[in-house]
Amino acid sequence: MAETMDLTDHDAIRDWAAARMGAPAIMDASAEGGTQPVLRIVFDQIAYQDQDRAERPQNAGGLELVEWDDWFKLFDELNLALVVAREQPGRKDSFHELIRRR
């Protein structure tokens, strides 16, 4: 397994995601709705969903693209860190996971 590092700096996280064309998202994992938010970074086509389309219901599929400020607010409230693979020349690994800060 590749070496990993923990990121907590907002700019470093935003730069890491931007280099992989990732976007911040929040998924609602609660049965009631709105009570158990889960942070995600989404890639590829999901990151480019048109959220302004009238026919797309709010929070469709439980995943909502959000602004970085909203994402980081929850990130800091939950005291999280983003674990990513260390950079290797010629490779952009998108492995990541969110954990409680150590």
pLDDT in tens, the chain (102 residues): 579 999 999 999 999 999 999 999 998 876 665 567 899 999 876 555 555 544 444 544 568 899 999 999 999 999 999 999 998 888 888 899 999 998
Domain count, the chain: 1
Q: What is the DSSP string of the chain?
A: ---EEEE--HHHHHHHHHHTT-EEEEEE--SSSSSSEEEEEE-GGGGG--TT-TTS-TTGGGEEE--HHHHHHHHHHTTEEEEEEPPBTTB----EEEEE--
Indicate the pTM of the whole model. Answer: 0.79
Which residue segment(s) compose the domain that 40 sits in? 4-100
